[in-house]
Structure 1
């Protein structure tokens, strides 16, 4: 008997071969076919649009794939706008920098943060609404390059049609600069032979009438003599001294077509009898002599004392406001700061006619070593007037000091003189700060209203680098100077010559 055969069947299959696996494979084949058809359509369309559109990769739908467990979004992702301070954003975006002030104006150097060129011109920035006034402050320790920067701004501004006036150069550093640019220097002091008459009327404006001109000259002379008297006396004038001075000035102008200081002093010491008879002062000569005696002896210093020969006669030099640069060299005048301030008061009044001409164009007025000038109330008041009226005159004042604590040496803490000095600082829309001496950083930041980031930059500034606070914007600027400029602006020549002389055999 043959062996029996067993007939059996499959009781189970592998999962991938089951119904679910077959359904998944069919879905994959259908998806593949659909994708192929879409790609073919895209290739067909791309023939008319170019190969760049055809190579664009497929992306997922904005809300995810249309299938289970695809983590589809319920709605589009929307993030609210985020606001933060510049300190925080600087950490989030460390490679962003200020766009700069534009290319209009004088080229100064390089913006250390962005690496771009930095240009500056107060008239251009005022017209653009970035500055509220054209006045500037430049502060920095000795040897950090502030004088070189001031001279670069001055000489480069001449190419833009600006004129430069330096009403007081205590060290004579601007003489060579003025000569190089075709300007003129007026040197005062022993051995120069130059003399200025501060009572000269000065150049007359083209758009001013005869009566207005006479009144303007009289006011200017009266203000000058009052400032000189207060500087010499070290106090304000009394009412009777004002009367005596005004009477002496009026009599001098009436009797002499070219009034001078010696004539005014002589009338203070020896009033004329006809002055009281004509009703000019309402006092007899004896009363006028007694009231103006101290005042006369104080002003006599300008004509017979240590300033004899400078302001005691008609002018021997002319002031030409059309020159590109005019400087007043005071390096030969030695003595106290009060003496220098009195000389600058006379010189400023002599130049005032050109400074206050609104039709003379844009002009820089540079006060170098201003720490010596702001200590004198009379000169400080004249500077305040120029600061306040700078926009109407079309001038930009540049105040150069070593440190902001110099303002603390001006009068008492609660005095009007201290308030006036701080007012000059407040009226400077542009503040340039070079490296300060140790211990001055916090005080400088407090006075100028610097942020913590700006204050942190001050100790790290190198020679020729400065923090420029222009309006509400701040920059770290590296000043670039050519070899010829460095040779012309060098303020260390005497120190270098001294070393060479010692080393010479």
Structure 2
């Protein structure tokens, strides 16, 4: 096509061809946009006081200094068709309740986070208050978590950090007047994951029916933990092992003989009961002789023995020395000393023990005791074994019943899938963990995980671009998935929060 020559200031130039409209594009496919009939213009009103001609104006309707409005095309279509042509039109926002996190980039309005309020609001597609956060290191993941914890204090929420692997929440705890409880090799702190918890209080005052209910809750919690601990050692936990452990726990607590009060139990006591079984235990486990019992439970005894004598010795093998103050705004259990040993398997096992202990401590929480339970670096636990994944799965399923907000952090969506080989039962259960959270916060990620994000989260290409491009340009940016709704959110921090959330002390040369 020959270009049209026009004269312009500074010489001649070639004019651009006019841009194509939506009608032009659709006409190539033999269709047109449905037109909306233009409304009939109202007859002009009679002017009682006609204005005089103003300077540089023409005395005629639509002329003068006032610019005329450009003609706009009107379209008529269904709400299902509209997002295909205008995908970035922002819909109704979330109600202004809960923590004010920042602002919604598309609408320009403030963005609030209130998981419990969303569950109670039928207009919001959220059925559980769990939150999963995914983000590349350095994208503001921990800062978002800390800001949420701080801002929810005014709404009556307290926080429980079950395993601060890197002491990222130590400054926040000390700012709120709470010293972290440290657990690690050579430290005095002890946690008994087989603690009776609040359910063991006033046991003798309960009715027989209530005692049976509490005993079932306690034994099931212990069984899930021991299943995970045994599985982390590569030992298969079959129904035979389950029956043996059940009998051991009932013998040690005195439940099998009708004791008026349950006795405290520790993991070394369970191992000792298996290593030196009584005749009643051998008979209850349906073994013909004591030697048959030894032969049948050897893998079970070896797995528990490794836990009692290995890297975790002196940490989870005696009664708890930590008595948390549940009225404090935050309680944090530090695992940094164990993490510095470089034994990731031991850290994962420790996280599993703390998660079980924390669940036991929350079993009789009152209705007004609102709690944010943080499970940091959860991939260290889920990668251990199928049983470890099932233990975390059981904890998350109780969030709505217990009234807690379970907050789980990962680096990328594939972290839960590291629980087992692709297609294995462990990987499938770990993948199903994502369905236990209706609120997901996707922070900045590399391009290499874009397809993975889209496959696991059901994201469109535009939503993937938000995470791999826009969210990587500044800290605190994230795509919030609230049910089936999507929000581009920029988290904002106050100067005080910036100091409390700074985690680059080790690499900052100015410090």
TM exceeding 0.5: yes
Trace 1:156-167 onto structure 2 (pairs within 5 A). Answer: 156-167=151-162
* d(CA) in 2 for partners of 1:267, 1:471: 48
Instruction: Please list every run of 5 or more consecutive structure 1 residues that lacks an aligned counterpart in the other structure.
Output: 1-34, 44-56, 59-77
Give, in angstroms, the shift of residue 274 of structure 1: 4.5
Which structure is higher in helix share? Answer: 1
Instruction: Please list every run of 5 or more consecutive structure 2 residues that lacks an aligned counterpart in the other structure.
Output: 1-42, 50-59, 62-73
In the alignment, is residue 359 of structure 1 matched against residue 360 of structure 2? no
* d(CA) in 2 for partners of 1:431, 1:219: 29
Match of 1:375 in 2: 383
1:184–1:325 CA contact under 8 A, matched in 2 = no
Distance 1:165 1:445, change over 3 A: same
Give, in angstroms, the shift of residue 351 of structure 1: 1.6
1:333-354 Cα offsets, whole Å, 9 max, x none, are: 1343322222122222222123
Give, in angstroms, the shift of residue 183 of structure 1: 4.2
1:352-394 Cα offsets, whole Å, 9 max, x none, are: 1233446344322222222222212223212212332322221
* d(CA) in 1 for partners of 2:504, 2:266: 40
Q: Aligned to 2:336, what secondary structure does the other structure show?
A: coil
In the alignment, is residue 348 of structure 1 matched against residue 355 of structure 2? yes
Trace 1:53-64 onto structure 2 (pairs within 5 A). Answer: none
2:349–2:381 CA contact under 8 A, matched in 1 = no
* d(CA) in 2 for partners of 1:427, 1:241: 29
Structure 1 residue corresponding to 2:272, chosen from 257, 263, 266: 266
1:107–1:117 CA contact under 8 A, matched in 2 = yes
* d(CA) in 2 for partners of 1:216, 1:404: 32
2:196–2:264 CA contact under 8 A, matched in 1 = no
Q: Aligned to 2:299, what secondary structure does the other structure show?
A: helix
* d(CA) in 1 for partners of 2:297, 2:428: 30
Range with greater deviation from structure 2 (235-244 or 448-457): 235-244
In the alignment, is residue 242 of structure 1 matched against residue 242 of structure 2? yes
1:196–1:313 CA contact under 8 A, matched in 2 = yes
1:362–1:394 CA contact under 8 A, matched in 2 = yes
Structure 2 residue corresponding to 1:112, chosen from 105, 109, 114: 105
Trace 1:453-492 onto structure 2 (pairs within 5 A). Answer: 453-458=462-467, 459-461=469-471, 462=473, 463-492=475-504
1:399-419 Cα offsets, whole Å, 9 max, x none, are: 211111224422122211111
2:244–2:285 CA contact under 8 A, matched in 1 = no
Structure 2 residue corresponding to 1:321, chosen from 300, 323, 326: 326
Give, in angstroms, the shift of residue 218 of structure 1: 2.8
Trace 1:68-467 onto structure 2 (pairs within 5 A). Answer: 81-83=77-79, 84-89=81-86, 97-129=90-122, 130=124, 131-183=126-178, 185-204=180-199, 209-232=210-233, 234-254=234-254, 257-276=263-282, 279=284, 281-333=286-338, 334-357=341-364, 359-360=366-367, 361-376=369-384, 377-458=386-467, 459-461=469-471, 462=473, 463-467=475-479
How many correspondences in the alignment?
425
Q: CA RMSD in A?
A: 3.0
Q: Aligned to 2:232, what secondary structure does the other structure show?
A: helix
Q: Which has the larger radius of gyration?
A: 1
2:382–2:418 CA contact under 8 A, matched in 1 = no
Match of 1:29 in 2: none
Give, in angstroms, the shift of residue 473 of structure 1: 1.6
Give, in angstroms, the shift of residue 141 of structure 1: 1.1
Range with greater deviation from structure 2 (260-269 or 247-256): 247-256
2:282–2:293 CA contact under 8 A, matched in 1 = no
Give, in angstroms, the shift of residue 470 of structure 1: 1.3
Give, in angstroms, the shift of residue 500 of structure 1: 4.3
1:39-93 Cα offsets, whole Å, 9 max, x none, are: 69x89xxxxxxxxxxxxx99xxxxxxxxxxxxxxxxxxx9865552324135xxx
1:358–1:392 CA contact under 8 A, matched in 2 = no
Give, in angstroms, the shift of residue 222 of structure 1: 3.0
